[in-house]
A and B are shown apart, each in its own frame.
Chain A
Amino acid sequence: MFRQASRLLAQTLRAGLRPFSSDLPAAPTSDSAFIESWKKVIPNIEPPKTPSNFLRPRPATPTSIPSKITVNFVLPYASELSAKEVDMVIIPATTGQMGVLPGHVPTIAELKPGVLSVHEGNDVTKYFLSSGFAFIHANSVADIIAVEAVRIDHIDPSLVQKGLAEFTQKLSSATTELEKAEAQIGVELHSALNSALSG
């Protein structure tokens, strides 16, 4: 009987500690203005949820510069890095490679195809990104959103060379504006890949 009681107690403790849904933040906030205006016009239906209900809480802006920068690197199919503390990231902005250290000024940067390198201590992880955006917030949190990303060591150099040759040939034989634009994009991508692999 005592064995059962202790088992039940352990179960309830475990159940209490486990969160109901992994996506709900600890303190869900909601858009109160929206809910108010909804209730006034449509009192019978429950107001729908908004993204702020499901937003993971973000750290507040610290007074002094923190030692590490928190990186969230997301793709449509996966969150590559989620709230990882690193020393520095180098992002391929359209204006060139940009190094981001803790305490960087808040920035919205548009990205071009290139290499993202994440420096933590002595390890450097390099990813090749197709384009995307990067936000650097005042609280030393960097959000990098890309459409596709692969680790550099997963790329096959021979295929890159083949692709580059193919698109250069297409560019020279292109007739319409659309074909020219598509071939131009292919050439830019493959030459960026090439320089990423060699650099």
Chain B
Amino acid sequence: MAMAALRREGRRLAPLISPQSITAVRSSLISQEQAPLGLRSISTQIVRNRMKSVKNIQKITKAMKMVAASKLRAIQVKAENSRGLWQPFTALLGDTASVDVKKNVIVTVSSDKGLCGGINSTSVKTSKALKKLTAGPEKETKYVVLGEKAKAQLVRDSKKDIELSITELQKNPLNYTQVSVLADDILKNVEYDALRIVFNKFQSVVSFLPTVATVLSPEAVEKEAESGGKLGELDSYEIEGGETKSEVLQNLGEFQFSCVLFNAVMENACSEQGARMSAMDSSSRNAGDMLDRLTLTYNRTRQASITTELIEIISGASALQG
């Protein structure tokens, strides 16, 4: 494109310049553009390379945004359907976030892949703050980490506090069976009085709220029921089925944990796709802006080099004539 413009300029100036100088000019211009020497044309080559790479990045991020949008559509339906699952448990057992127990286990839900904005950092920040909140004499707080990103951040300063870490959750599409097996694993291997699940609740495509859902162990439920407060009305409920009340309460606690964890994992997956969509969108917009700026610089540099060549030619020609 630049060569064609130069040829046009050369043809216009033909009457002024003798044939030998035209070829000389053309060859000197070619050598100047390709060789990265000399002050004038060094920037056009480099700017052109930058423009190519920025354009590629824009295409890639646009494609990633489309992929995230389609994944979000699929998983949003499932997440909204799973929202009814935890409501009966909270209606029965209340929201016991402010409970005071000895053994706290914080289950942090995060994503495996990156490029999803700040949601994993907010989850980790909330988990660390919760640990500080529930710390105290004779109390201990441990982590169970779901997802690579939170593990990478938490391993840095709380490596000994991580009991269990699970990755590659989304290799197969999320379903309840997988999550209930996971919940079973956690319940068997970790001692707890209260489980606090930290995740990002999907409110809309641009808004994700860090949320903490609390599940108490059966012993903690008994203690809270005796001491009154939120669970005081639990004694008024008749228990049907099972041998003893404690057996039913244990099954209830385990079922509650798997249901709440399922909803948490679904919501977090939704938030991940939504955050990735907006991150990739802003990234491609940024790349577009950068491309515009680079195009302006490129044109300016190109025109400046043409003008300089013309000045040289004309001054050379006038020196020959005059």
**A interface residue numbers (CB < 8 A to B):** 21-23, 31, 33-34, 37-38, 41-42, 45-46, 48-56, 58, 72, 74-79, 82, 93-95, 98, 105-112, 132-133, 135, 137-138, 141, 143, 145, 147
Q: Could you say which residues of chain B place their CB within 8 Å of the CB of A132?
A: 255
Binds A, one of B6-14, B206-214, B273-281, B310-318: B206-214
Knowing A54-B201, A145-B255, the reply to whether A108 touches B92 (Cβ < 8 A) is yes
Contact of A21 among B86, B92, B204, B238 (CB under 8 A): B204
Closest residue on chain A to residue B197 by CB atoms: A51
Cβ of A34 and Cβ of B97 under 8 Å apart? yes
Question: What is the bound-complex CA distance between A56 and B176, given in angstroms?
Answer: 23
Cβ of B237 and Cβ of A77 under 8 Å apart? no
**B interface residue numbers (CB < 8 A to A):** 78, 80-92, 94-95, 97-98, 125-126, 129, 132-133, 176, 180, 198, 201, 203-204, 209-214, 236-242, 248, 251-252, 255, 259, 262
Chain A: minimal CB distance from B150 (Å): 15
Question: What is the bound-complex CA distance between A132 and B251, given in angstroms?
Answer: 10
Cβ of A76 and Cβ of B262 under 8 Å apart? yes
Cβ of B85 and Cβ of A76 under 8 Å apart? yes
Cβ of A34 and Cβ of B98 under 8 Å apart? yes
Cβ of B98 and Cβ of A76 under 8 Å apart? no
Q: Could you say which residues of chain B place their CB within 8 Å of the CB of A110?
A: 240-242, 248, 251-252
Q: Could you say which residues of chain B place their CB within 8 Å of the CB of A98?
A: 240
Question: What is the bound-complex CA distance between A70 and B92, given in angstroms?
Answer: 15
Closest residue on chain A to residue B239 by CB atoms: A108
Given contacts A23-B83, A55-B87, A76-B85, 16 further A-B contacts (CB under 8 A): A23-B203, A41-B129, A41-B132, A45-B125, A48-B211, A51-B90, A53-B211, A72-B87, A76-B176, A77-B78, A77-B81, A98-B240, A133-B251, A135-B88, A147-B176, A147-B180
Contact of A31 among B85, B97, B237 (CB under 8 A): B97
Closest residue on chain A to residue B198 by CB atoms: A48
- Which of A45, A48, A52 counts the most B-chain CB atoms under 10 A from its CB? A48
Question: What is the bound-complex CA distance between A167 and B84, given in angstroms?
Answer: 34
Cβ of B240 and Cβ of A93 under 8 Å apart? yes
Chain B: minimal CB distance from A152 (Å): 22
Closest residue on chain B to residue A29 by CB atoms: B95
Cβ of B97 and Cβ of A21 under 8 Å apart? no
Chain B: minimal CB distance from A83 (Å): 10
Please name 28 pairs of A and B residues whose Cβ atoms are closer than 8 Å in the assembled complex, sorted by A: A23-B80, A23-B203, A37-B133, A48-B212, A49-B201, A50-B214, A51-B90, A51-B95, A52-B95, A58-B91, A74-B88, A76-B82, A76-B176, A77-B81, A77-B82, A79-B81, A93-B241, A94-B240, A94-B242, A95-B241, A106-B238, A109-B241, A133-B252, A133-B255, A137-B92, A138-B236, A143-B91, A145-B255
Q: Could you say which residues of chain B place their CB within 8 Å of the CB of A79?
A: 81, 83-84
